[in-house]
Amino acid sequence: MLFQLMIALYIGCAGFVAAGVIGSFYQLVTDQPPRFNFAVDSAIGTIASVGVCVLAGPFIIMRNAIRGRRIEGRPIGWLVASSTIAGMWSICSGLLVMQCALAIAASF
């Protein structure tokens, strides 16, 4: 049981790191922080926006939750709920990232 919990924690960390890297890269390229609204200018832009939101979702949620707590004074329960959602999302996206990494490693 402890081994599975450690693997889930590791995968969640990998997912959150991937979210942070993608979110930071998006901010570097576009000069604005990633958000949950989609650019509907073109089909490629829409697909790219959805991809960024799917993979950088935990980063966006935590950034908004921390800003909401510090600037707007939202209750601590809001931060806990946001952290839980971001953690579960990180496990899901981390599983995707780890599967891709293992597939790439197996191809060499």
Determine what percent of the chain is predicted with pLDDT higher than 90. Answer: 77
Q: Which is nearest to 19 in space by CA: 106, 85, 86?
A: 86
Model confidence pLDDT, tens digit, residues 67-106: 999 999 899 999 999 999 999 999 999 999 999 999 999 9
The model's pTM = 0.86
Q: Which is nearest to 60 in space by CA: 94, 33, 93, 88?
A: 33
Range of the domain at 78: 2-107
